Structure 1
Amino acid sequence: MAELIDNNQRRIEVTAKDLPLHCPMPNMRLWDSHPRVFLPIEETGEARCPYCGTLYVLNGPLPHGHH
């Protein structure tokens, strides 16, 4: 079983396999989470969740077919 991470981690690196990006992510604890929100990370390479303030940073290239 994958290790669950707390929702209070403030910076998370993601890769193209995590797209489309949403918060909370599948490996986060859900009992204290907020509603799922999709985050547009493709244009700038980073996105901040409006609910919890977590900053997601894209690590690596986008897959072909993403703009």
Structure 2
Amino acid sequence: MQNHATDNKQRQIEVTADDLPLHCPMPSMLLWNSHPRVFLPIEDTGEALCPYCGTRYTLRGGAAGGHH
């Protein structure tokens, strides 16, 4: 049986607009409670770095062009 959850050892994760608002750790991580949940602002720059575990998130398609 294959487990589709990711672990916190992966340091580069690509996310989509469906994952917003972005927070780390993500629910799909095996160690989802390894550090306090922190929301990461990724919409403006297209990248975010978790201050707790150092995971770098990149937004597929890049930063949002404008605000709604």
Report the TM range for the smaller structure's normalisation.
Answer: 0.7 to 0.9
- Identical aligned residues as a percent: 69
**Contact 1:22–1:36 (8 Å) recurs in 2:** yes
- What 5-or-longer segments of structure 2 have no aligned partner? none
In structure 1, what is the equivalent of residue 58 of structure 2? 57
RMSD of aligned residue pairs (Cα, Å): 2.4
- The 5 A counterparts of 1:36-51 are 36-51=37-52
TM-score normalised by length of structure 1: 0.83
- What 5-or-longer segments of structure 1 have no aligned partner? none
Alignment deviations for residues 29-52 of structure 1 (CA, whole Å, 9 cap, x no partner):
136611100000011000000000
- Which one has a bigger Cα radius of gyration? 2
Q: Number of residues paired by the alignment?
A: 65
After TM superposition, give the deviation of residue 60 of structure 1 in Å.
2.1
Task: Name the CA distance, whole Å, in 2 between partners of 1:18 and 1:34.
Answer: 19
TM-score normalised by length of structure 2: 0.81
Task: Name the CA distance, whole Å, in 1 between partners of 2:17 and 2:33.
Answer: 26
| Relative contact order higher in (CA < 8 Å, ≥ 6 apart) | 1
